[in-house]
Amino acid sequence: MDNRIPAVKLTGISKRFGAVAANSNVNMEIYRGEILALLGENGSGKTTLMNMLSGIYFPDEGDIQIDGKPVTIASPRDAFDLGIGMVHQHFKLVDVLTAAENIVLGLDGKLDLKKATKKINEICDKYGFEVNPSQKIYDMSVSQKQTVEIVKVLYRGAEILILDEPTAVLTPQETEKLFNVLRKMRDDNKAIVIITHKMHEVESLSDRVAVLRKGEYIGDMMTKDTNAEEMTNMMVGRKVSLNIKRPEPVGVKDRIRVTNLTVRNEEGILKLDNVSFTARSGEILGIAGISGCGQKELLEAIAGLQVVESGSIEYIEDDGSAEQLIGKDPRKIRDMGVSLSFVPEDRLGMGLVGNMNLADNMMLRSFEKGGSPFTDRKAPYELAKSVVEELEVVTPGISTPVRRLSGGNVQKVLVGREIASAPKVLLTAYAVRGLDINSSYTIYDLINKQKQAGVAVIFVGEDLDVLMELSDRILVLCGGQVSGIVDGRKADRAQIGFMMTSTGGNNE
């Protein structure tokens, strides 16, 4: 195979952001008529590498060849000119413009939207997309927006297509549709790169797999010659036998009772539909589901951050008396004596303040205590010191802004603060996302300790293997509905996977 001229050849590519090496010395090839899956954990540098190919970033070192010719890609414009198109995970669309206007954005020549519309419709017919060229982006669903992105890239005549985690936001049906389109394009002799960390997608779609780990290129192989286990090993660097401890639950009591909870987001879209379950003390309740299925809304509703349309969320005291949490903000919930901690998904945008130092971040939860109009600076400082010591946070000092810490250390600071208040309920969203293996295990241990201390833990996760090894029970969400609750010790991967894509066994 190696006498083909690669469509793209990367040699010795390195890129640093401040002290962090996002990519170091990457050598990689991309071929036409082939779907390449670029595989790697979160933070392994997949997106950064592809951003350099699409002109968003400029490499610190290294060379790029397109069709055997050395090139410089200094801007996205250069990338188009070379036939490279990328569909980013966060869509690059202008909300107030129409689909057609977005698609022709950045091209040269006279603006002729009629002609453009015609060409868009041709592309749609060829590959089977459905796009209304005159629809405004802000009126579109996520999958419609993604379609616009792909059409945009094709409209420009891209020969080399890069898709960054395209399925994260799609339903299974939409995913299958997308894959069919991608296969058609491959047969059209285009070079296609799909960034992902979902094994089954790699297996069902790609021809070849390339693996990145911690910014380094580990290697590639033909998909048909490998298997999920080998790929996972390459991805994480050692054989994964996760072996997360799962102590037996003790003193199990009902703690949070959610009944018929229905939530709509600001745009009026139904995010949670008649959700009911009970979380118990001394137990970890895992929540599984493809991202955006209502996990965020569920946790935020319990934490008092989400407006609820109907239903009830009750906190049950040890003596069995229940108190309604709906309609109360976090402060009121705290004032009621309900000790509830929340490790949100967006660590630096919600859980912590990036520009504040460790001590000031500790203060977020406690600054109101006491009657004095002034803040108590000493206790948070001590708390920060003990969190740093106990959780082995790597930081230059207590007065360092947390945004300068690495992802794992940021999370330790956040979790450390949240468990410091000895909560009765602990909500965590994607607690190990972007963390290295060691930090992840630290977090699992912390969560397990909370469980053993009698805390009711609700753990929203994305990695099924982790969920199945850590949780006592797993609640599976699909499109805002509960498709079932299974025992974590007896759960079966395929069963949960099926539940994630279909409510209660009913296909949509």
Partner 1 sequence: MINFGLLIPKAVVQGIPLLYGSTGEILTEKSGNLNLGIPGVMYVGAISGVIGAFFYEQSLTKTGAAANGFLAVMIPMLCCLLGSLLMGLLYCFLTVTLRANQNVTGLAMTTFGVGFGNFFGGSLIKISGADVPSIALSTTSKYFSAGLPFAGKLGWFGKVFLSYGFLAYLAVLIAVFAAIILKKTRTGLHLRAVGENPATADSAGIGVTAYKYGATCIGCMIAGLGGLYYVMDYACGVWSNDAFGDRGWLAIALVIFTIWKPDISIFASILFGGLYILYLYIPTGMDHMELQQLYKMIPYVVTLIVLVITSMRNKRENQPPASLGLPYFREER
Partner 2 sequence: MSNTKKHEPLFHIVKRDSMTFKKAVGIRALAIVAALVLCAVITMIVTGENPISIYGTMAIGAFGSVRKTWVTFQNVSILLLIALALTPAFKMKFWNIGGEGQVLIGGLAAAACMIKLGGKVPNGILILIMFFASLLAGGIWSVIPAIFKAKWNTNETLSTLMMNYIATQLVAFFTVLWEVPKGSGKIGIINQDTNAGWLPNIGSGFSGSKYLLTIIIALLITAGMFIYLAFSKQGYEISVVGESVNTARYVGIKVEKVIIRTVFISGAICGLVGLLLVGGINHTLTTTIAGGQGFTAVMVSWLAKFNPIIMVFASLLIVFLSRGAGEVATGFGLNQSFSDILTGIILFFIIGCEFFITYKITFKRGGHKK
| Residue with tokens 């997360």, as numbered in its chain | 244
User: Any contact of residue 155 with partner 1 (CB under 8 A)?
Assistant: no
CB of 330 to partner 2, least distance (A): 3
Number of other CB atoms surrounding residue 331 within 10 Å: 10
228 binds, among partner 1, partner 2, none (CB under 5 to 8 A by kind): none
Site map 109..138 versus partner 1, x via CB under 8 A: xxx------------------------x-x
**Residue 74 engages partner 1 in binding (rule: CB under 8 A):** no
269 is an interface residue for partner 1 by CB under 8 A = no
Token pair for 41: 């954990």
Contact positions with partner 1 (CB under 8 A) in 27-56: 54-56
Q: What is the DSSP string of 178-217?
A: HHHHHHHHHHTT-EEEEEE--HHHHHHH-SEEEEEETTEE
Stretch that binds partner 2, among 2-10, 95-103, 353-361, 446-454 (CB under 8 A): 353-361
Q: How many residues bind partner 2 (CB under 8 A)?
A: 41
Least distance in Å: CB of 105 to partner 2? 22
Of positions 49, 66, 104, 455, contacts partner 1 by CB under 8 A:
104
Determine which residue in the list 349, 394, 399, 445 makes contact with partner 2, applying CB under 8 A.
349
Long-range contacts formed by 497-504: CB under 8 A, 24+ apart: 497/200, 497/464, 499/288, 500/288, 500/289, 500/290, 500/293, 500/476, 501/171, 501/172, 501/290, 502/478, 503/478, 503/479
Could you give the count of Cα atoms lying within 13 Å of 295 in the half-sphere of its Cβ? 28
Distance of alpha carbon 348 from alpha carbon 408, whole angstroms:
12
β-strands 310-316, 84-87: how paired?
Answer: unpaired
Partner from partner 2, partner 1, none binding residue 325, C-beta < 5-8 Å depending on class: none
CA 297 to chain centre: 15
Q: Using DSSP, state whether 111 is helix, strand or coil.
A: coil
Residue closer to partner 2, measured from CB, 248 or 335: 335
Cα–Cα distances (Å) from 444 to 117, 253, 374, 418, 470, in that order, read 52, 22, 36, 14, 8
Residues 6+ apart with CB under 8 A from 408: 435, 436, 438, 439, 442
The verdict on 336 binding partner 2 (CB under 8 A) reads no
The kind and range of the H/E element at 119 are helix 113-127
Cβ closest to partner 2, residue 123 vs residue 336:
336
> What's the closest the beta carbon of residue 58 comes to partner 1, in angstroms?
9
- Using rule CB under 8 A, residue 74 touches partner 2: yes
Q: How far is the CB of 141 from partner 1 (least distance, A)?
A: 16
Distance of CA 265 to the CA centre of its chain: 19
Residue with Cβ nearer partner 1 (157 or 320):
157
Q: Which positions ≥6 away from 166 have C-beta within 8 Å?
A: 87, 146, 178, 194
Contact partner, 92, from partner 2, partner 1, none, Cβ < 5-8 Å per class: partner 1
Element (H, E) at 358: helix 358-363
CA separation for the pair 432, 415 (Å, rounded): 11
Which listed residue (63, 71, 92, 249) binds partner 1 by CB under 8 A?
92
Q: Applying CB under 8 A, which part among 93-101, 237-245, 251-259, 430-438 lies near partner 1?
A: 93-101
Q: Using alpha carbons, select from 287, 308, 210 the residue that is nearest to residue 459.
A: 287
| Residue among 72, 65, 70 at smallest CA distance from 31 | 65
96 binds partner 1 (CB under 8 A): yes
> Does the footprint of partner 2 cover residue 77 (CB under 8 A)?
no
**Pairing verdict, β 425-429 and 456-460:** parallel
Q: Please state the closest distance from residue 311 (CB atom) to partner 1, in A.
A: 28
Stretch that binds partner 1, among 65-73, 89-97, 181-189, 229-237 (CB under 8 A): 89-97
1 binds, among partner 2, partner 1, none (CB under 5 to 8 A by kind): none
- Which one of partner 2, partner 1, none interacts with residue 237, CB within 5 to 8 A by kind? none
Cα–Cα dist 396/398, whole Å: 7
In terms of CB distance, is 199 or 305 closer to partner 2? Answer: 305
Instruction: Say whether residue 242 binds partner 2 (CB under 8 A).
Output: no
Distance of closest approach, residue 86 Cβ to partner 2, in angstroms: 20
- Binding of residue 244 to partner 2 (CB under 8 A): no
Considering beta carbons, is residue 128 or 327 the nearer one to partner 2?
A: 327
Residue of 123, 168, 305, 437 interacting with partner 2 (CB under 8 A): 305
Residue 164 lies near partner 1 (rule: CB under 8 A)? no
Cα 379 vs. chain centroid, distance in angstroms?
34
**Applying CB under 8 A, which of residues 404, 421, 463, 498 lies at the interface with partner 2?**
404
φ, ψ at 316 (rounded to 5°)? -105, 125
Contact with partner 1 (CB under 8 A) among 70, 74, 105, 204: 105
Size of the site for partner 1 (CB under 8 A): 29
Please state the closest distance from residue 106 (CB atom) to partner 1, in A.
3
Helix or strand run (H / E) with residue 221: strand 216-222
Q: Using N-to-C axis directions, what is the helix angle for 172-187 and 142-155, rounded to 10°?
A: 10
Q: Which residues bind partner 1 (CB under 8 A)?
A: 17, 54-57, 75-77, 79-80, 86, 88, 92-97, 101, 104-111, 136, 138
Contacts with partner 2 by CB under 8 A lie at 17-19, 58, 69-72, 74, 303-305, 329-334, 342, 344, 346, 349-356, 360, 363-365, 367-368, 372-375, 377, 404
